[in-house]
Chains A and B, each alone.
Chain A
Amino acid sequence: MIATEGLTKRYPRVTALDRLTVDITPGVTGLVGANGAGKSTLIKILLGLAPATEGRARVLGLDVRTEGPAIRERVGYMPEHDCLPPDVSATEFVVHLARMSGLPPTAARERTADTLRHVGLYEERYRPMGGYSTGMKQRVKLAQALVHDPQLVFLDEPTNGLDPAGRDEMLGLIRRVHTDFGISVLVTSHLLGELERTCDHVVVIDGGNLLRASSTADFTQATAALAVEVTDTDEHPHGTAVLRDRLVADGLTAEFAGAEGGLPGAGHLLLVDVADEATHDAVRDAIAELGLGLVRMEQRRHRIAEVFQQPSAPAPVPAAQPQKGGSGHAA
């Protein structure tokens, strides 16, 4: 699908991509990196819109340097930012963009109706898009990327701004783009956790360098961690510490979250490695026996920073800082 070879992009001040060599096979591939890691630059080069400083890249077997228009005819792109005019209906908008992709008028209308239905937009597609919810807007953005039946779509942060339920739906839809529609997907995110459920492969880049490229299964082995917060009681003035000692005594790995950074609230949240299904029960029982009140127990996922710390050996979970955005991302 996509093959890059020593791909480098230098701007006057920064190097956005540094000798990136990666081979992306058909399927759903996650492209993970922090903000500014070079994800958007890579997409721009792959669409043939920005020349690479050095190196080569091929998309669907076409050279990005010389065959940009041919690539863009067969590839869809969903941008990260809002891109929908509010005074036009979804149907009109997608029909117009279908024609911009080269579809004849009748085909453009048919494909638009089909695609909007597939992404889950029904009669609201005739209403101006200004009144849409974020979830509906994301669906229209996805529809415009799929309307010309591309062989490959680039989805730039498709779950941005969605609530947990909307994010789950979007991730399901992305999975369906591949399984049902037969379209390969390259999806970017800064959250590894949400990609591991959706993607067959994950490519991690940082500072324009390839950090890791492997199948999702390799990543998920060590992802599970439980964040546990308990109340203090008269009997146990520092409930979290007591619980930690108890769990360690039970043979589990438990650490205070944010202990290193000395952040406010450090020491109140415990991160427990999930060895198997029994871990949840063990934690619950331990809390019950100690007579502590359970404030929350939620699953944490690896943040991209943790992969950076351990590029190759996915072993114990390092003491993670409280996750960006709080508990929402844990779902």
Chain B
Amino acid sequence: MQPEHQRPDGPTPPPTTEPTPPPNQPGPQGRDPQDGPDSRGQRDQQYRQAPVSAPTEGGAQGGGASIHNIGYRSYEGTRLGRGYARRSLFAQSLRGGYGLGRSAKSKVMPMILAAVMCVPALIVVAVAIATSDIVRELSMDYREYATFLAPVIGLYLAAMAPQSVSRDLRFHTVPLYFSRPIERVDYVLAKYAGMASALFVFTAVPLLVLYAGALLAELDFAEQTAAFALGLVSVAVLSLVYAGVGLVVAALTPRRGFGVAAIIAVLTIPYFAVNTVQVIAWDQGATEAVGWLGLASPTSLVAGFTSAFLDGPSSFVDGIEPSTGVGFVYLVVVLALVAGSYAVLMARYRKAGL
């Protein structure tokens, strides 16, 4: 390195801010233990005196008990690579879905919604236990529970999907991920799986409450277990569909507030439209059309899929269920929606790289 030029320039030369280490110091092999702790100590001292860094010195070393200057330590430990990074990102996304590992403020919304989600289940359980002598079943089926509470699930998704993906896009953090061992596939899969898992926990816990209540009320074990299992499958499908829709909308709208509104709109407007048109169609006697119409919104799609394949009660008007042929179309649309969401997310992050 060239010695410093003499610099008589500048109206206000900054004399105190020269943390540059003396150029003729140890040389490239800085990790050499022979380097001696003293020269490093000096340099660290210089750093601590730099005005930008904190003016306090003692506390900086943790408690200020004693200042150990150990210099730079290289890392010789294991590097767990891509699979581990993907799992870590998944875990972080899942925890982020409940505000864990973040500020207390970000835990409020998901926790309140999760509580709201369980209230009807507790009421159903209370009723079932109180009336177990007369009524030998739950007043609400496992498979229609999520459809009943679709607005709450929608709110939860609208609150959580933007914070999962929009933040990385909006603050341009994505390049930091892609300059590490993980690839675009890993990022998209981890985020998708994280969101879907958070939704699954969100929707499956009330079902668990219902199931526990059903067992306490000593309802028929085999019947309840089968219905509970099918209910879990139905909320798993719902989680995949909702997570896909929510993440795509959030990834396309980096502004957070807008993303929240867009997700609520995408989930509720088509759902209400479908319900209205279904009632009109039924009123006009076009019962076959009711099944087809159910394809047009994510919520009714999952509801129709559940009633067609998982033996659930239909939430459509007059309890109409999609016919077998239409039911197959439901399956195709569910698969296409999940695959399509994945593809759109992949395309979205192709551009978001460095």
Please give the residue numbers on chain A whose beta carbons come within 8 Å of chain B beta carbons, in ascending order: 26-27, 40, 43-44, 47, 49-50, 69-70, 72-73, 75-77, 79, 81-88, 92, 96-97, 99-104, 107, 111, 114, 117-118, 120-124, 133, 135-136, 144, 148-149, 164-166, 168-169, 171-173, 175-176, 178-182, 196-200, 216-217, 220, 224, 226-227, 277, 280, 296-299, 327, 330-331
Contact = CB atoms under 8 A, between A and B. Distances in A.
B30 A179 contact: yes
Contacts of B89: 100
A171 B1 CA distance: 12
B75 A72 contact: no
A166 B52 CA distance: 8
Interface string B71-114: 11111011111101100110010000000011100000000000
**Number of contact residues on B: which range applies?**
35 or more
A114 B9 CA distance: 37
Contacts of A165: 14, 17, 51-52
B9 A331 contact: yes
B5 interface: yes
Max chain B Cβ within 10 angstroms of own Cβ: one of A73, A77, A101, A217: A101
A124 B54 contact: yes
B7 to A, nearest CB: 5
Contacts of A171: 20
A20 to B, nearest CB: 18
A215 B13 CA distance: 28
B20 A298 contact: no
The 6 A-B residue pairs whose C-beta atoms are closest, nearest first, are A298-B9, A172-B20, A122-B60, A149-B75, A77-B179, A120-B53
B181 A73 contact: yes
A13 B239 CA distance: 43
Most buried by B among A69, A81, A178, A224: A69
Nearest to A176: B21
Interface stretch (B128-136, B165-173, B215-223, B307-315): B165-173
A256 B103 CA distance: 59
Given A164-B10, A165-B17, A180 B28 contact: no
Interface of B: 1-2, 4-11, 13-14, 17-21, 23, 25-31, 40, 43, 47-48, 50-54, 56, 59-61, 71-75, 77-82, 84-85, 88-89, 92, 101-103, 167-168, 171-173, 175-183, 353-354
17 contacts: A26-B28, A27-B28, A69-B81, A73-B181, A76-B179, A79-B175, A103-B75, A114-B72, A120-B50, A122-B48, A166-B52, A175-B23, A176-B43, A198-B1, A298-B10, A299-B5, A327-B9
Nearest to A151: B74
Contact of B54 (A49, A87, A122, A298): A122
A93 to B, nearest CB: 9
Given A111-B75, A331-B13, 17 more contacts: A72-B179, A79-B176, A79-B179, A82-B171, A83-B176, A97-B177, A100-B85, A101-B180, A102-B180, A104-B80, A148-B75, A175-B1, A175-B20, A175-B21, A180-B21, A277-B6, A331-B10
Nearest to A331: B10
A326 to B, nearest CB: 12
B176 A107 contact: no
Given A101-B180, A169-B52, A79 B14 contact: no
Given A72-B180, A172-B19, A122 B56 contact: yes
Contact of A280 (B8, B43, B179): B8
A69 B84 CA distance: 13
A166 B14 CA distance: 10
Nearest to A81: B172
Contacts of B31: 181-182
B207 to A, nearest CB: 32
Contact of A179 (B14, B27, B103, B176): B27
A331 B18 CA distance: 12
